[in-house]
Structure formats: C-alpha cells, structure tokens
Amino acid sequence: MISKIETKNSSIPSKELLSIFKNTKQEIKQLADEAPDQLVESVHLIRKRLKFLRAFVKLTQFCSNEHNYKPSNYILRDTGRTVSDCRDAHVRGMLLEEFSKNELTKNLVDELAEINDSVTRKIETNLLSGRPVFDEINTNISSVELNDYFESLDPDANCLIDGLALGYKKSYHAFHSELKSHEADLLHEWRKRTKDLQYQLEALLTSFPDQIPITYNDVCELCEKLGRINDLFMFLEWLDSIEESVEEKNQINNLKSALNRELKRLEEQADAMGSSIFSLNPVDFSESLNDQLEL
C-alpha cells in the first residue's frame, strides 16, 4: 500500500513500492506452485498479477534515475505469454458452456466443445509435463533486472502523477483511434491500455484524493465490457480457423450472427462509457490531477 498523497511535494518511502512488487511476486509464486492442482484458476490469476506488475512498472517509470523500465516490462510481457494459449483455451471452454444453453446451435456447440477440450488437454499436458513453464515463471519474476529496477526507485508524488497521466494519455488516444474505426486491432489496443490504467488506479487506490477526474470503479466496469468484447472477437477468430473441419456447418452462421449482434451492442456501450471516462483531453487531465494535489 502506498501512503496517502496529500500534495505534489509528498514524499513516498521507496520501501512501499518495493513491498508491492515483493508481495505480488509472492502471490505469483504461490499460484505457480498450486498450478498442478488448480490449473484453470492459477493460470487466470497468474496472468492477472503479471499484468498488474507490468502496469505498475509503467506507473513508476519516472521514479528511477538509474534503470529504464522497458527491460522489466518486456520480461513480464514474455512471461505472461508462456500461459496465454492455455488461458485462451479455458476462456473458449467457458464461452461454449454459456452458448450450450441455446437450443438453435446446441449440436454445433457440443461439437466445438469436443474440439476445444481436445486442444485444451494437449496444452495443459504440455504445461504440466513438458518444459517447466511454472518454474520459468518463478525464475523470471525473480530476475536480477526486475529486482534492480524496483530497488532503484526513488519515488515522490510527482513521478507517480506523471506515470498515471501517461497511462491516461495512452488509453485516451487508443479510445479515440478505436472510435474512428471499429477495427479489432484498435479495440484490442484500447482494452490493453485501459487495463493498464485500471491496475495503476488499483495501486493508487488509497493514495490519491477521491476527487481525481476518473474513478477506479468506472474504469473497472469499462474493462469488464472490453474484456467480453475481446473474448468474443477471439472466439470468432478461432471459429473461422476450424470451420472447415466442423460437421454442423449449417449452424455456424446462426452462432456467428448471434455473436456479432452481441458485439455490436457491447461496442456501442463501451464507446458511450469511453466518451464519459475520457471526456478530458490528456493535458486537462494532467492539470486537473495536479490541481487536486495543490489544494
């Protein structure tokens, strides 16, 4: 937990930032150790905590004069990718369970579930009996580069303000790019940048004044919406990739149509939420943030 930041001149003990890193690292290590017994939950939470650490590294990038944040960011990014295929397969399984309630596409969904279950079993077997993925995760988060980065932090209120303002700026620009053209890649970028912002606000939840221009809960709600959109996009891409091997082809268009209708509805809701959350341009947001800490 980071101390309450009352003014721009507030000092922040470096041990508080180091403690967040060490506690999150310990969470990840415990989840990695528990993975053989609860793989679905462990993979999901490992990815979440790695994303939190990546966002935290970006938040604190202006707090170190000795180390560039990018090597630490890349280590955490690459570590998350080691279990991304497994998480994608698990998400498809959860979606297929949800879709099985629709009688119009039940035969197709049952067939897709068999295909996905087969893929999932192979991925899980490789994770648990192939190369020591979870040992690699533990090694990566204990790397010298990560530890040196967090040991080098010399924080104050200004460096965290600058980090949060940059996180907002990136999410703001990603939103407005997506708003002009509803392309999957642009929406995916907006989701990633907004997820960074969510985790940065989480780290500062008890530190900044309540009157800052955006709220943690609003950003969380938006991230939930964007996450659902991303899951559906990825499911449709997977469906396209296996369509030729599916027997129940007559039901595929029905399923795709239903998913595309939901996507359109969700995108409209996300755009409306984005317009509200990102109503301030980045310069005004930064000024408002600084103003709150000068009261």
State residue 92's pLDDT score. Answer: 97
Residue 268 CA to its chain's centroid (Å): 21
Cβ proximity of 62 and 159 under 8 Å = yes
* Percent helix / strand / coil, the chain, rounded to 5: 80, 0, 20
**Residue extents of the structural domains in the chain:** 156-295
State residue 187's pLDDT score. Answer: 93
Distance CA 203, CA 19 (A): 12
State residue 4's pLDDT score. Answer: 76
Helix, strand or coil for residue 11? strand
Nearest Cα to 83, choosing from 15, 35, 117, 115? 35
State residue 239's pLDDT score. Answer: 95
State residue 195's pLDDT score. Answer: 98
| Other Cβ atoms within 10 Å of 41 Cβ, number | 13
State residue 277's pLDDT score. Answer: 96
User: For the chain, how many residues are written?
Assistant: 295
Q: What are phi and psi of 195, to 5 degrees?
A: -65, -40
State residue 130's pLDDT score. Answer: 61
Distance CA 46, CA 212 (A): 30
State residue 235's pLDDT score. Answer: 97
- pLDDT tens digits for the chain (295 residues)? 687 776 767 777 789 999 999 999 999 999 999 999 999 999 999 999 999 999 999 999 999 887 789 999 999 999 999 999 999 999 999 999 999 988 778 899 999 999 999 999 999 998 988 668 999 999 999 999 999 999 999 988 889 999 999 999 999 999 999 988 878 899 999 999 999 999 999 999 888 777 788 899 999 999 999 999 999 999 999 999 999 998 888 889 889 999 999 999 999 999 999 999 999 999 999 998 888 776 4
Cβ proximity of 141 and 28 under 8 Å = yes
Distance CA 112, CA 274 (A): 34
Distance CA 113, CA 16 (A): 46
- Which amino acid is residue 268, in one-letter code? E
